[in-house]
Amino acid sequence: MNEDEAVILARYVRALCPQQKFDEYTPDAWYDLLQDYDLQACKQAAIELGRRQPFIAPAEIIEEVRHARAGRLDYFQYEPDPNETSRQFTRNLRAQIADTLDGYRPPALTHAGSPRPVLELTASVGHNVPEAWEPPATRIRSALDIACPNPNCRAAVHKPCKTPSGRRMAGYHGTRVDAAKVAKGAA
């Protein structure tokens, strides 16, 4: 972020939080704290914070940006090219992780697979392959396998529960644990 973008961000936060006090030195102070971060990431963090609280501090923006970046790696999986060397593997892996953290989805690697359709391949196995495939029933193993029904949390599947202030909880809400027990019994 440069100094002009810090002015834009401060003005944006002022619009989100009209009761928060800003003066002519606020963008300079925010630039000193946020110069290592991207304007768009900071604006997105300010939006998320503005939904939860009436005032926004630069430290909270930094925390929200870091949390968003870490969340992008939740389902990251690098598929190496079988012909790459260990040096190429390390370089490519680091580049894909950096791109993923910045919010860019790396393109999927193209693999030379068989051009034949799956039904043709499985026909020689001797098993009947149904035309309409039905996904297996979801198996509930823990409270993370269901969305949190707590109205103050509403954490998605495989996401941790949060406190009303938006911080991650060490455990789960009781309603989520109860709902998981009910779903486990029904499955």
* pLDDT given for residue 4 in this prediction: 92
Q: What average pLDDT does this structure show over 146-171?
A: 88
Reported as a pLDDT band with limits 50, 70 and 90, residue 17 is very high
Quick one: tokens of 32?
């000193």
Q: What angle do CA 33, 36, 42 make, to 5 degrees?
A: 75
Alpha-carbon span 179 to 94, nearest angstrom: 40
* pLDDT given for residue 115 in this prediction: 57
Q: Phi and psi for 162 in degrees, rounded to 5?
A: -130, 155
What is the tens place of the pLDDT at every residue in 112-130? 555 556 666 666 666 665 6
Q: Where are the domains of the chain?
A: 3-68, 72-108, 143-186
In a 13 Å sphere around the CA of 38, the CA atoms on its Cβ side amount to 10
Report the percent of the chain where pLDDT is more than 70.
81
